[in-house]
Amino acid sequence: MRVEKFEVKLREYIDAQIPIIYIDSFDDNKMDDMILEVTGSRKVWEWNEMDGLMNRKKVEKGKAVPVHETINGKDDGSVKTLYDVIRDGVRQEELDRKILIVKDIHPYLEDPKLVALLKNACLRIEEGRLETTFIFISPIVSIPKELEKYMVLLQEDFLDEDTIREIICGFLEETNLGSLYGKLLDEIVVAFKGLSKLEIETILALDVSARGKIDRETVRLIVEQKQQMIRKAGILEMIPVSEGMEDIGGLENLKEWLGRKSVILKDMAKAGRYGVELPKGVLIAGVPGCGKSLNAKASAKLFEVPLLKLDMGRLMGKYVGESETNLRQAISLAEAISPCVLWVDELEKAFAGIGGTGGGAEVTTRLFGQFLTWMQEKKSAVFVVATANDIMKLPPELMRKGRFDEIFYVKLPTAAERKKIFEIHIKKRRPDDLNKVDVNRLVSESNGYSGADIEGVVKDGIENAYVKGKPCVDTSDILGAIRATHSLNEVMKDDIAKLEKEYKERKFKCASRDK
């Protein structure tokens, strides 16, 4: 069980006398239980802003007993107590052979006085004059430079698939519900990834209470629970998906490539047994309005998984280290929801300022490094669809082999693609009028138009026909809209030519099939 690995690491770090163990977690109660489990006979004190200083190993009526008589007097419940305990506890060796848990410490680590007190304690621990372990538990990781060398960061892993399978089978046995056949059990196990044992057992109990069985409908309940996780975190956005591959005109090379990936993602266990690795994702670059975002949405529908959107602007926090923590949380959430598609839109804007000077640029550079490392090493079923308008603004490290499975560029649609796009948008809005429109004529008049341009002229043409009181839409209505619109190629001719040349020189794959 991966939870056991967390406990083993925690015990090893304590036994190795690491001065500070920083646990990145929201679940204080669960962490308390784990710490008490692994600390054996050592005394465990805890400080938190609500209760002040407490003896965690001494419990009366279900609650830890406050340490009223602290080293230098009565505990007044303020952060001053924490400072006094560290300073005087080190001087008088009252902290020797003790574990001191500190909850939600991140805002206080900006205070040079506290950092200095902790550093002094760490020096004594390093010299062997003090045997103390500080354990910080906080959902925001803030690591002062002065304490980096004395600290390890520990993050609880999610339950692995074997453990989830054990929990489900144990529940079925306890409730006399028999067993699930292999493929359904695999689907439910994958759906439960990222949830705790309590959450898994609660959902199973709710479903049995409501319907008396566990089946494919259970997956819907699990997805609802994960949607709650996304909404509460407020970092990622879950996008409802209605568009499919049939709504994309052209881009056949990209669609065919995504189709191959969908075969793997729809039966990952079978693909893994065959030796196929999980897909990492795709970077889609190109001019605006040519289907990049639509492909991100259609991919999620094709793979039959949720679509999460990562807005880098939401990650920026006010505390030192908060932005990096937010990215870690976003990645953890995506991995908890997995299998899923993680859409990072306008990637070049998300990582603007990399390598620059100043606080904002330095934060962005650290976020970029964190994102790259995750992309390189990730083993989860999070398929990243990153879109970019201008690939030349992206750092070259992002385009190295191993980050994305493939990089496609999207150019202005060919004549055949424009025909398909016109048909899609006319049929979507005025299906009975499609045979009254000379689509080939529209195609010949729309050279240099993007997919978004075509959608716009179709909407304008339909609106013009309605305003004129016409019973149906014909060729002249849409032609009029075309002639009143400047194509993207007219507006961005030089930029588009420069980008396309760049994509070809870098040997990126073209999303369209040349005809």
pLDDT tens across 309-327, in order?
A: 987 666 765 545 567 777 8
Provide the domain limits for residue 397. 239-410
Please give the average per-residue pLDDT across 212-220, as a whole number.
83
| 40 and 187 assigned to the same domain | no
Domain presence at residue 491: no
| 14 and 84 assigned to the same domain | yes
pLDDT band at 458 (very low <50, low <70, confident <90, very high): very high
In one letter, which amino acid is 152? Answer: V
Q: State the pLDDT at residue 172.
A: 87
| 314 and 338 assigned to the same domain | yes
Please give the average per-residue pLDDT across 13-22, as a whole number.
92
| 209 and 124 assigned to the same domain | no
Cα dihedral sign for 120, 126, 129, 132? Answer: positive
Q: State the pLDDT at residue 385.
A: 92
| 51 and 137 assigned to the same domain | yes
| 311 and 359 assigned to the same domain | yes
| 279 and 391 assigned to the same domain | yes
Domain presence at residue 419: yes
| 103 and 10 assigned to the same domain | yes
| 218 and 360 assigned to the same domain | no
Residue partners of 502: CB distance under 8 A and separation at least 6: 391, 392
Residue in the block written with tokens 């069980």: 1
| 188 and 208 assigned to the same domain | yes
Q: Minimal CA–CA distance to 21: which of 40, 6, 5? A: 6
Q: Minimal CA–CA distance to 473: which of 485, 453, 459? A: 459
Report which DSSP code applies to 413.
P
Number of domains within the chain: 4
**What backbone phi and psi angles, to 5 degrees, belong to 435?**
-75, -5
Summarised one tens digit per residue, pLDDT across range 180-195 is: 877 788 888 888 877 7
Token pair listed for 232: 């509460």
Please give the average per-residue pLDDT across 27-43, as a whole number.
81
Domain-ending residue, one of 233, 266, 285: 233
Domain-ending residue, one of 155, 187, 218: 155
| C-beta separation of 465 from 480 below 8 A | no
Domain presence at residue 225: yes
Q: State the pLDDT at residue 3.
A: 45
Residue in the block written with tokens 């266990």: 269
Domain presence at residue 492: no
pLDDT band at 141 (very low <50, low <70, confident <90, very high): confident
Domain-ending residue, one of 155, 174, 196: 155
Domain presence at residue 507: no
Token pair listed for 326: 């937010």
- What's the CATH code of the domain at 95? 3.40.50
| 97 and 126 assigned to the same domain | yes
- What's the CATH code of the domain at 459? 1.10.8.60
- What's the CATH code of the domain at 291? 3.40.50.300
| 257 and 147 assigned to the same domain | no
Domain presence at residue 378: yes
**What backbone phi and psi angles, to 5 degrees, belong to 472?**
-150, 165
Domain presence at residue 205: yes
Q: State the pLDDT at residue 64.
A: 61
Domain presence at residue 450: yes
